[in-house]
């Protein structure tokens, strides 16, 4: 069976990856509609050897569409996803607009694939940092249970979008030329700097990005007893998110056991050999879809604890790939 597919935000950092992944994985589409705004309407993109002209997104863009992949920001999703659903499409949404809605499944296919089938028109793709974390945690959770997570993230600018990638490039050149870096997308200079600030601040001092990791993790793992605390930082890297994860487990798990569990998990690759200076690196994941896990150590400060360093391609496993894997699972079971 073939499906009519639309990509909303096709010209964006994530949208472009979606289009290449549809081709790479030979997604069974009959027609493909690439959608954005008037800013990039008319742009020609190719997929599976065919050329497609990007169109302006309107409610009628979704006539005859079976599956609509959205990555155009929360505003566009809030306005247009219901229009797509009204016309009979299933929306897989990469924005944060619907993630915490009770009737919207929030899915990482390696973790909670069964939730896909509970949808009422919209399925949400989690936040990029949450996806790579829960993919690595799932086998440990299943084996020994998880009480508490303490996370620090080191997130690339591609998570903000293509304008932020341009800003990092321009500022890096400016600074090296002894010129001033003019912040536009970020509130401060991002080149040669680290910003402990992603998304908006709440009254208690946490950022929305940090709270996404708390709330989305509990929803995906279907366990509101997991305690989570996070600090999210933006680093001057184009693509690839890293995170330090400290896990307090219910029962003890040794480094050897943890390595074995992770090595046997689809979608996860263990990169952990300190003697050979082998550990996950952000510049390693441009061409890699697996979630890389390394620096696996027991936390000697508590009875049952582990430390991990986890790296993934935020545009692919953290966004476009996970979205398309959700769509694949959904049609596979039909
Ligand atoms: P456009 O290229 O026309 O601006 P990024 O996350 O890299 O900034 O990309 C955002 C993507 O979402 C782009 O493809 C952008 O299109 C698209 N987009 C932004 N707002 C809307 C909207 N209201 N409707 C449809 N597409 C949108």
- Kindly state whether residues 253 and 285 are assigned to the same domain: yes
What is the predicted pLDDT for the residue at 333? 60
Name the catalytic one among 47, 188, 197, 241. 241
- Kindly state whether residues 11 and 145 are assigned to the same domain: no
Arithmetic mean of pLDDT, 164-183: 98
Kind and range of the H or E run holding 291: strand 291-298
**In the 8-state DSSP scheme, what is residue 58?**
-
Q: b vs e for 117-153, b when ≥16 Cβ sit within 10 Å of the residue's Cβ?
A: eebebbbbbbbbbbbbbbbbbbbbbebbbbeebbbeb
How far is Cα 85 from Cα 115, in angstroms, rounded to an integer?
18
**Whether the CB of 39 sits within 6 Å of ligand 1:** yes
Instruction: Indicate which CATH number applies to the domain containing 36.
Output: 3.40.50.720
* Total domains in the fold of the chain: 2
Name the catalytic one among 47, 119, 128, 300. 128
**Annotation-wise, does 155 bind a ligand?**
yes
Arithmetic mean of pLDDT, 113-132: 98
| % of the chain residues with pLDDT over 70 | 99
Band of the pLDDT at 25, cuts 50, 70, 90? very high
Residue 220 lies in domain:
130-314
- Kindly state whether residues 32 and 163 are assigned to the same domain: no
**Whether the CB of 159 sits within 6 Å of ligand 1:** no
**Annotation-wise, does 9 bind a ligand?**
no
**Annotation-wise, does 316 bind a ligand?**
no
Q: Which residue has the tokens 């997130």?
A: 155
**In the 8-state DSSP scheme, what is residue 180?**
P
Q: Which residue has the tokens 């940092």?
A: 129
- Kindly state whether residues 164 and 294 are assigned to the same domain: yes
Residue 334 has pLDDT above 60, yes or no: no
| Chain segment 183-242, per-residue pLDDT in tens | 999 999 999 999 999 999 999 999 999 999 999 999 999 999 999 999 999 999 999 999
Residue 258 has pLDDT above 70, yes or no: yes
CA distances from 191 to 38, 167, 174, 185 (A): 30, 8, 9, 12
- Kindly state whether residues 141 and 83 are assigned to the same domain: no
- Kindly state whether residues 25 and 55 are assigned to the same domain: yes
How far is Cα 117 from Cα 181, in angstroms, rounded to an integer?
48
Residue 156 has pLDDT above 80, yes or no: yes
What is the predicted pLDDT for the residue at 71? 98
Arithmetic mean of pLDDT, 71-84: 98
Band of the pLDDT at 133, cuts 50, 70, 90? very high
Ligand 1 atom with minimal separation from the 11 CA: 14
- Kindly state whether residues 281 and 215 are assigned to the same domain: yes
- Kindly state whether residues 77 and 170 are assigned to the same domain: no
Ligand 1 atom with minimal separation from the 72 CA: 12
pLDDT mean across residues, the chain: 98
Residue 192 CA, ligand 1 centroid: distance in Å: 28
- Kindly state whether residues 207 and 230 are assigned to the same domain: yes
Q: Is 68 helix (H, G, I), strand (E, B) or coil?
A: strand
**Whether the CB of 9 sits within 6 Å of ligand 1:** yes
Closest Cα to atom 9, ligand 1: which residue? 12
Band of the pLDDT at 95, cuts 50, 70, 90? very high
**Whether the CB of 37 sits within 6 Å of ligand 1:** yes
| Chain segment 78-93, per-residue pLDDT in tens | 999 999 999 999 999 9
pTM above 0.95, yes or no: yes
Kind and range of the H or E run holding 79: helix 74-86
- Kindly state whether residues 53 and 194 are assigned to the same domain: no
- Kindly state whether residues 163 and 263 are assigned to the same domain: yes
């Amino acid at each position: 069976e073939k499906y009519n597919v639309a990509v909303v935000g096709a010209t964006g950092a994530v949208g472009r990856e979606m289009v290449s992944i549809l081709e790479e994985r030979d997604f069974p589409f009959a027609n493909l509609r690439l959608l954005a705004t008037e800013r990039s309407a008319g742009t020609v993109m190719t997929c599976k050897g065919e050329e497609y002209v990007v169109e302006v997104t309107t409610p009628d863009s979704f006539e005859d569409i079976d599956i609509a992949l959205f990555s155009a920001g929360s505003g566009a999703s809030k306005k247009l996803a219901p229009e797509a659903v009204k016309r009979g499409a299933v929306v897989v949404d990469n924005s944060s607009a619907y993630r915490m809605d009770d009737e919207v499944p929030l899915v990482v296919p390696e973790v909670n694939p069964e939730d896909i089938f509970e949808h009422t028109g919209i399925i949400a793709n989690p936040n990029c940092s949450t996806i790579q974390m829960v993919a690595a945690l799932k086998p440990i959770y299943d084996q020994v249970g998880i009480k508490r997570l303490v996370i620090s993230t080191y997130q690339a600018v591609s998570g903000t979008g293509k304008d932020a990638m341009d800003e990092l490039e321009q500022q890096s050149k400016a600074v090296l030329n002894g010129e001033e870096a003019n912040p536009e997308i970020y509130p401060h200079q991002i080149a040669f700097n680290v910003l402990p600030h992603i998304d908006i601040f709440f009254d208690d001092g946490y950022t929305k990005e940090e709270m996404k990791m708390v709330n989305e993790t509990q929803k995906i793992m279907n366990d509101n007893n997991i305690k989570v605390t996070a600090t999210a930082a933006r680093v001057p890297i184009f693509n690839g998110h890293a995170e330090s994860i400290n896990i307090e487990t219910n029962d003890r798990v040794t480094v050897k056991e943890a390595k074995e569990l992770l090595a046997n998990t689809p979608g996860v690759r263990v990169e952990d050999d300190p003697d050979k200076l082998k550990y996950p690196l952000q510049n390693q994941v441009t061409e890699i879809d697996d979630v890389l896990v390394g620096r696996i150590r027991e936390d000697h400060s508590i009875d049952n604890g582990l430390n991990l360093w986890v790296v993934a391609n935020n545009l692919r496993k953290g966004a476009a790939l996970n979205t398309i894997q959700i769509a694949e699972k959904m049609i596979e079971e039909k």
